[in-house]
A and B are shown apart, each in its own frame.
Chain A
Amino acid sequence: SQQGEEDPQALSIQEGENATMNCSYKTSINNLQWYRQNSGRGLVHLILIRSNEREKHSGRLRVTLDTSKKSSSLLITASRAADTASYFCATEETSGSRLTFGEGTQLTVNP
């Protein structure tokens, strides 16, 4: 298995519900980032959490990082149909600035 595995692979919820996506990684990291990608489009940076941080908030987004378990979660609260997209975690390893992306979670928010 590779760096940056995510689960679930696909998640379908109703508008207003919360969505939680998880990411696991294998190596030591400087930071972990979450991105969003609408179908066939580029990536949008959502949030970055550094290795010495445990939790971070941005609007309806909440990210946690557990370096002892090498895992992170992204919570989207009060989801909207417009949140429908693929969400990727990406880790920046301590060995350099390159990013390694997870497999992604396809989130569908039904109106």
Chain B
Amino acid sequence: GAVVSQHPSRVICKSGTSVKIECRSLDFQATTMFWYRQFPKQSLMLMATSNEGSKATYEQGVEKDKFLINHASLTLSTLTVTSAHPEDSSFYICSATRDFSYEQYFGPGTRLTVT
């Protein structure tokens, strides 16, 4: 299989604090990982694309200084939401692809609530 995990599955934090979300490919090496955000009853919006060892490519309108992405190894990417605000509350989903494969394998998502 191709399993992607995310940790934590749920997190509640106070406004102004930072939160780190991990995305791991458990049984394959992920050359590329994607981070998406999904608001309630809406579709997934791509935030950024990250390749191992290089800087992430952010989508238009996504603040790179607020959403820090690190893809330090072929099995781990992290998304840090810095100085979180209530409007950052959302469902964050990562996905990963293997070499020479079109298919994205999605993690189970992380529900972030900022109070």
Contact = CB atoms under 8 A, between A and B. Distances in A.
Interface of A: 4, 30-31, 35, 40-45, 48, 88, 92, 97-104, 106
A99 B93 contact: no
B106 A42 contact: yes
B43 A101 contact: yes
Given A41-B108, A98-B34, A92 B49 contact: no
Nearest to A96: B49
Contacts of A41: 108-109
Interface residues of B, number: 24
A40 B36 CA distance: 14
Given A40-B109, A42-B93, A97-B97, A103 B42 contact: yes
A45 B106 CA distance: 8
B11 interface: no
Contacts of A97: 32, 97, 102
A56 B91 CA distance: 31
A50 to B, nearest CB: 9
A99 B105 CA distance: 12
Contacts of A44: 106
B44 interface: yes
A90 to B, nearest CB: 8
